[in-house]
Amino acid sequence: MKNTLKVFSGSANPALAEKICKSLKTTPGRVSLKRFRDGEIRVKIEENVRGADVFVIQPTHPPAENLLELLLMLDALKRASADRITAVIPYYGYARQDRKDEPRVPLSAKLIANLIVVAGADRILTMDLHAEQIQGFFDVPVDHLYSTPVLVQYFKRQPLKNLVVVSPDPGRVNRARAFAKRLGNVPIAIIDKRRPAPNVAEVVNVVGEVNRRTALIFDDMIDTGGSIIGAGNALLARKATRVFATHPVFSANAVERLTESPIAKVVVTDTIPWDRAKLTRKIEVLSIAGLLAEAIRRIHYGQSVSSLFI
C-alpha cells in the first residue's frame, strides 16, 4: 500500500473529481457520505488507505457543509493511517476575509486554514487564491496553481485582435501583466474602483488605453457580478468588450445580470460546479481538471510543480 495513489472526492464537485481521475487513469476512492435525520454529516472511508498517498478533492464554496465535509474526510483519513493527505481545494472559500480591515472582525481565511491543517491535511493544492498571502496562513506546504495556462490556450484559439488585458483593481496588476505577457505581450489597463461595502464596487477611472480595443478583464472570481459589470460598462463606454474570471461563484441573480449586460462573453472554469442548463450561451466553462491532475501526479511522484505556477 505504501506510495499508492488514491483520490477521494466530497460531494461539492464530483464531476471535476471524475475528470481528474480520468486524466490520472484511476477511479475515485470509495467513500460514504450520508446524513443523520437532524442533518449531521456522516463520513466513512470504504476502503483501506493505510500507508497510501491520498488526495481529497473538495472546493469550499457555500454552503458551509462543503467545508465541514472536507474537515470530516481529512479526519477520517488521518485516523485510518493514510501516509500523506493532500487537500485539493480548487476554490478556497472565505479567502476575501484575509485581513482585519475593520475593528472586531475575524481573520476568517486564517481560521479556515487552521481548521484544515488540524483536521489532518499534510499538504494543500489550491488554485487562484483571492489573496496570495493566504499561502502563509498554512503551516504545511501549499501548491498554489493558476488557471492561466488553460485560459491562455483558450484565448489563443479565438479570433481576437487588438487586445488589452484589464486588471479589475490595482491588486491584480501582477497577474494581469503575467497573463498579457503570455498572450504575446499585449498591453494592460487598470480599473480604479472603490468598495464602500461588501459586494459593492464603484468604478472611478480606467487607467490605460482601451479605446477601440478588445478588453479581457482578468479576475479571480465573479460573485454577484456587480464589480465585473461595472468595469465592463466603463470599458464599453470606451468601445471595449469581453470579460473572464476563474471562479464562478454566481450568487444571487448574477447569471441573469451578466446575461442582460452588454458584456460580450464570460469565460470561467469548473472549480465550482454549475448545471450547464442553468447557464446561458454568454457564459463558457473551461475545465481545469487536466491542470490539477498533472499537479497531483507530480506531487505523488516527488517531481517539480513549479513549472505549473504561471
Catalytic residues: 193
The bridge status of strand 266-269 relative to strand 283-286 is: parallel
Report which DSSP code applies to 132: G
In the block, residue with C-alpha cell 501516509 = 83
Q: Angle of helix 108-119 relative to helix 65-79, nearest 10 degrees? A: 30
Percent of the chain as helix, strand, coil, to the nearest 5: 35, 25, 40
Cα 185 off chain centre by: 25
Rounded Cα gap, residues 27 and 80, in angstroms = 20
Contact of 272 with 254, CB cutoff 8 Å: no
Grid cell, residue 191, equals 480599473
CA distance readout (Å), 151 to 53, 179, 224, 245: 30, 9, 22, 9
The bridge status of strand 188-197 relative to strand 200-207 is: antiparallel
Angle made by CA atoms 54, 57, 61, in degrees to the nearest 5: 150
In 3D, which of 12, 206, 188, 4 has the Cα closest to residue 92? 12
